[in-house]
Structure 1
Amino acid sequence: MSDNKPYYEHHVFFCMNVREGENCRQSCGKAGAEVAQKHAKKRIKALGLNEPGKVRINQAGCLERCEEGPVVVIYPQGTWYTYVDTSDIDDIIDTHILGGEIVERLKI
Structure 2
Amino acid sequence: MSYYQHHVFFCTNERDDGRPSCGERCAGDLRDYAKKKVKGLGLAGKGRVRVNNAGCLDRCDEGPTMVIYPEEVWYHYENEADVDEIISEHLQNGRVVERLRI
Equivalent residue for 1:63? 57
Unaligned runs of 5+ in 2: none
Equivalent residue for 1:90? 84
Which of 74, 85, 94 is residue 100 of structure 1 equivalent to?
A: 94
CA RMSD of aligned residues (A): 0.7
| Bigger Cα Rg | 1
Equivalent residue for 1:51? 45
Q: Distance in 2 between matches of 1:51 and 1:106?
A: 25
TM-score by length of 1: 0.92
Unaligned runs of 5+ in 1: none
Q: Distance in 2 between matches of 1:35 and 1:48?
A: 20
Which of 76, 80, 87 is residue 74 of structure 2 equivalent to?
A: 80
Q: Distance in 2 between matches of 1:11 and 1:19?
A: 24
Q: Distance in 1 between matches of 2:22 and 2:70?
A: 22
Give deviations 1:33-74, integer Å, cap 9, x for gaps: 011100100000001111212100000000000000000000
- Asked if structure 1 preserves the Cα contact closer than 8 Å seen for 2:4 and 2:45, the reply is no
Amino acid at match of 1:79: V
Is 1:9 the counterpart of 2:43? The answer is: no
Q: How many residues align?
A: 102
Higher helix share: 2
Q: Secondary structure at the match of 2:98?
A: coil
Amino acid at match of 2:5: E
Aligned residues: percent identity? Answer: 52
